[in-house]
Structure 1
Amino acid sequence: MQAKAPAGEDSTTAVVDSVLGALMTVGRSMRQRVAGDDLDPGLFWLLKNIAAEGPLRVTELAGCTNLDTSTVSRHVAQLHRAGLVERTPDPDDGRAHRLQLTDTGRSRLHDAFERRRTLLRRALGSWEADDVAELDRLLGRFVSDIDDLAAERENA
């Protein structure tokens, strides 16, 4: 026999499940190729992080994307062959390299972001401006709380 949940827990679980489902749907939409995309969604994520945090070592890129170093190395080799990133010597360690976007990589990343912005603009097109602003505020708060929890887990 299953124990009865405390009052309010069933509704909280339902809301959490709903939010989880929504996040998974949005995440899937953002990871899928958008019309006109020729950039693999996984590579898009790496390019985005290199642009935001770079120049980075492969190990640093793996850390900031929460991916295995060997996985990141394989993807970086693809990015390098495609001319989207370049390796430069690490000034702190002559044996290591740092990754940065090439002009082509920056352009492809910009185009991929623009296609996703267009998708979001279309999805939010019928919303009132105040509702869009409230969504932005709440998502910002949510992401901050998630980041705080992740930091607590890392420091525990």
Structure 2
Amino acid sequence: MQTASPAVDAMLTALMAVGRAMRQRQEGDAIDPGTFWLLKTIAHRGPLRITDLATATHLDTSTVSRHVAQLERNGFIDRTPDPADGRAQLVGISADGQHQLDLAFERRRAILESTLTEWGPSDIAEFERLLSKFVAGITNDTTLNNQDNQ
């Protein structure tokens, strides 16, 4: 087995640390960390069926149904009839859900911004350039794109 380069190891460590920080409940969050990314997906993709939401998030339908029920109890989503099939329902983000999601993202941006307070403008510009290059590489990697479509 080939040993990973120090840069790859550092990247894995950084991504896991950022992921942990983004998943943790922040002071003032009304959205449960377990439903945060689900609500973000609903906000981004628009109203959709629970089965489509499960597919989009790579979760099973029963897990998504439980989380959607919690989001609905908290008033963060609305259910509407599916115009394509009156028996089905679509879940969409409510005004309060969007407001709470915006606040949650502001808190997470603040965490990331606080880590850059000691950085100079040229360091931040270089980091942004390299991070954009990295993300473009991940996005264009056909292996990852093929896995996302399975």
Task: Specify if TM > 0.5.
Answer: yes
The match for 2:21 among 8, 15, 29 is 29
2:126 paired residue number: 134
2:33 paired residue number: 41
User: How far 1:50 moved relative to its partner?
Assistant: 0.7
SS at match of 2:28: coil
Aligned 1:1-156 pairs, distance under 5 A: 10=3, 12-147=4-139, 148=141, 149-154=143-148
How many aligned residue pairs are there? 148
Unaligned runs of 5+ in 2: none
User: How far 1:154 moved relative to its partner?
Assistant: 4.9
Q: Percent of aligned pairs with the same residue?
A: 53
User: How far 1:64 moved relative to its partner?
Assistant: 1.7
SS at match of 1:116: helix
User: How far 1:33 moved relative to its partner?
Assistant: 1.1
Cα distance change of structure 1 residues 62 and 140 upon mapping to structure 2, 3 Å threshold: farther
User: How far 1:90 moved relative to its partner?
Assistant: 0.8
* 8 Å contact from structure 2 (residues 29, 100) kept in 1: no
* Stretch of structure 1 that moved more, 52-61 or 127-136: 127-136
Cα distance change of structure 1 residues 144 and 65 upon mapping to structure 2, 3 Å threshold: farther
Amino acid paired to 2:146 = E
Q: Deviations over 1:50-109 (max 9, x none)?
A: 111111111121122222221111100000111110111111111111111111101111
User: How far 1:119 moved relative to its partner?
Assistant: 1.1
**Higher gyration radius (CA):** 1
Amino acid paired to 2:112 = L
SS at match of 2:19: helix
Task: Output the CA distance in 2 between the equivalents of 1:126 and 1:54.
Answer: 38
TM-score by length of structure 2 reads 0.86
